[in-house]
Amino acid sequence: MSRPPRATLTRSVAPGVHRLAHAEVSAYLIEDGDAVTLVDAGLPRMWQPLQRALAAIGRRPADVRALVLTHAHFDHVGVARRVQEEWGVPVLGHPLEHHLAAHPYDYAHEDPRLPYPLTHPAGLPLLGSMLLAGALAVPGVEGVRSIAPGDVLDVPGSPVVVFSPGHTWGHCALHLPDRDALITGDALVTLDPYNARTGPRVVAGAATADIPLALASLDALAATGAGVLLPGHGDPWRGGAVAAVEAARTAGRPD
């Protein structure tokens, strides 16, 4: 692969919610009237695709009122600092993510990272795509505003914070009850970029702080009863939260 991966905008993955997929990572745009909430911030080379995505849905950077982080791994904060500094947009995340947001490579993980490309070669193209999108040059972001479990955020779309730790210590999904949708971040994905496995699952231990805790947190996702799940990696799941959680539990602990 010699050129950066192309971005794909999929409109209306849920009512008023649009998915921007780039380098195997998804960010989401939630429209509410004339305003937008951005959920997660991809990798550094998502900057131009993000601006094109806003234009495609008839919005401008000035319409973005908040960036909410499900968690602060490097592949979810790639353009966060630019959104904050160049657009004047506040960045929100759980307090346990604030240090990681400022230092996006300083994250806990159960398993060593280096063996994965050797033991799971199917993941190499996915990881290569992320590298070309700037995965090794992600700037941190400071001044993150705190959110708390159960909060109904005062941002466009009014997402409800669903605390779902395990992938990171402060991971939060975002429930949109009026849209029957749940943005799961990496608490539950349909593509594991470390091993290329698909279907609902938790992420490999190379990027997950506590796999048993991540599996336990699936209960919080199921409890939302959401019909559509929008993960940080992989395609949307339209079979409902309960079925997705059952499938993730069946997949079990990733190797």
CATH number of the domain that 59 lies in? 3.60.15.10
Is residue 198 situated within a structural domain? Answer: yes
Measured between alpha carbons, how far is 181 from 187 in angstroms, rounded to an integer?
Answer: 15
Nearest to 206 by CA among 253, 139, 250, 244: 253
Measured between alpha carbons, how far is 85 from 143 in angstroms, rounded to an integer?
Answer: 11
Number of domains the chain contains: 1
Is residue 11 situated within a structural domain? Answer: yes
Q: What is the pLDDT of residue 15?
A: 98
Is residue 212 situated within a structural domain? Answer: yes
Helix (H), strand (E) at residue 250: helix 241-251
Domain with 151, as residue range(s), is 7-107+116-251
Is residue 124 situated within a structural domain? Answer: yes
| b/e per residue 185-194 (b: at least 16 CB within 10 A) | bbbbbbbbbb
Is residue 14 situated within a structural domain? Answer: yes
Distance of CA 247 to the CA centre of its chain: 20
DSSP assigned state of 89: -
Q: What is the pLDDT of residue 43?
A: 98
Structure tokens at 128: 């290569």
Sign of the torsion angle spanned by Cα atoms 99, 128, 54, 85: positive
Q: What is the pLDDT of residue 125?
A: 86
Structure tokens at 218: 């699936």
Measured between alpha carbons, how far is 37 from 57 in angstroms, rounded to an integer?
Answer: 13
Is residue 172 situated within a structural domain? Answer: yes
Is residue 164 situated within a structural domain? Answer: yes
Structure tokens at 225: 């009863």
| b/e per residue 156-171 (b: at least 16 CB within 10 A) | bbbbbbbbbbbbbbbb
Measured between alpha carbons, how far is 1 from 201 in angstroms, rounded to an integer?
Answer: 27
pLDDT along the chain (255 residues), means of 10: 77 98 97 98 98 98 98 98 98 98 96 69 83 95 98 98 98 98 98 94 96 98 98 98 98 86
Q: Largest Cα–Cα distance in the chain?
A: 48
pTM: 0.95
CA dihedral 40, 44, 46, 47 (to 10 degrees): 100
Is residue 2 situated within a structural domain? Answer: no
